[in-house]
Amino acid sequence: MSDDAICKTPLHALHVELGARMASFAGYDMPIQYPTGVLAEHLHTRKAAGLFDVSHMGQALIEGPDHRVVAAFLETLCPADILGLAPGRQRYTQLLNDDGGVVDDLMVTRPPAADGALRLVVNAARKAVDYALIVSRLPSGVRLTRLEDAALIALQGPLAAATLSSLAVGEGLEAMAFMAARPARIGDAETFVSRSGYTGEDGYEVSIPAPRAESFARLLLAQPGVAPIGLGARDSLRLEAGLCLYGHELDETVDPVEAAIAWSIQKRRRAEGGFPGADRILRALADGPGRVRVGLRPDGRAPARDGTEIVSADGAQIGVVTSGGFGPSVGAPIAMGFVDRAHATVGTPVGLIVRGKTLGARISALPFHRHAYHRG
């Protein structure tokens, strides 16, 4: 992709002003880190508040005559209970292909005062694929509207709630529970806020009109304890939190059960089916998958990167690492990957083939760092 073809978020000039090291990511010129570095940014988010530009993500509305029509349509593409999604609530789910593989993972929100609308947030690298899939299946009377003029800013960490609430007009943001969502006036901007994120910390994601994004980000950065955080720390934070990244833990060959996100398939959908790949997924729920996503804790200090071969104690290949690196909050290397179910028990010794040598490791529980979501 040429420089001219690379997209820029509404905060691009601010990132450059703040000294960010920029790089192409999912077709966007994005901040990888700021002068303090990934380690400092990661630890700052865990103890204070980090501001993340996630405007490269896709935001869209699915709209129709009422919630039942719109939700029933989305349930033909996703395994989550969307019909049962209450106003002002958000749900994590996946778009599935006909074999039950994950086309993308996404957040679905039912706005509190819009009976026939659902808000979507999809991955940057997959939004064109997602939108094409949705449009190809739209029934009469239902439409997809891409929110191209909306930025998305995340504020994550233990100071996020007090910080955002202090700037909001009226009350309620601090009292919001995890996965709640609502419109809010923050400063002088009209926004749509969800209490969610991708770090394992308490925090919010704020959708805001693009022309207001930079002034809003500057307002947040002027608050005590708020610092800009790049994609490098975002990745190490989500790895410690045991969260999947599309293209690593998820792709069109992986189903939600083997990815260890079967919790996102609610009871009614398990009973009724009716979603793409239901036969495969319901069979895996009943009998167990052939492989499963697990955590890995290397014995030494050397990290195991994605693509590293995982072997059993007797040297047989049993899987592959999908994400790996150093966990700053853990103080040690960590990784995730898929292994044959027979070797997936926590504590099982395995080997990691790193530069031709077998390094010891053990299967670990996920997450590596405890989630701090505000359950209310």
Task: Give residue 2's pLDDT.
Answer: 47
Residues of the chain with pLDDT under 70: 1-4
* pLDDT of res. 5: 81
For Cα atoms 30, 321, 258, give the angle at the middle one, nearest 5 degrees.
100
pLDDT at 96: 98
Give the CA angle between residues 308, 316, 99 to the nearest 5°.
70
89-115 per-position pLDDT tens digit? 999 999 999 999 999 999 999 999 889
pLDDT of 1: 42
**Domain ranges across the chain:** 3-55+149-240, 290-376
Q: What's the predicted TM-score (pTM) here?
A: 0.96
State whether residue 239 is helix, strand or coil.
Answer: helix
Residue 239 CB partners (closer than 8 Å, separation 6+): 323, 324, 325, 327, 334, 335, 336, 368
- Spatial separation of the C-alpha atoms in residues 305 and 332, rounded to whole Å: 14
CATH number listed for the domain at residues 3-55+149-240 = 3.30.1360.120
Q: Residue 84's pLDDT is what?
A: 98
What integer pLDDT is reported at residue 65 of this predicted model?
97
d(CA 288, CA 295): 18
Closest alpha carbon to 195 in 58, 376, 11, 50: 376
What pLDDT was estimated at residue 114?
A: 84
pLDDT of 171 reads 72
pLDDT at 172: 83
Per-residue pLDDT, 4:
56
Taking phi first (over 0 means left), then psi (-120 to 50 degrees means alpha), and beta for anything else, what does residue 5 get? alpha
Same topology between domain 3-55+149-240 and domain 290-376:
no
Q: Which CATH architecture has domain 290-376?
A: Beta Barrel (2.40)
Q: What pLDDT does residue 239 have? A: 98
Residue 29 confidence (pLDDT) = 98
Residues in CB range of 316: below 8 A, 6 or more apart? none
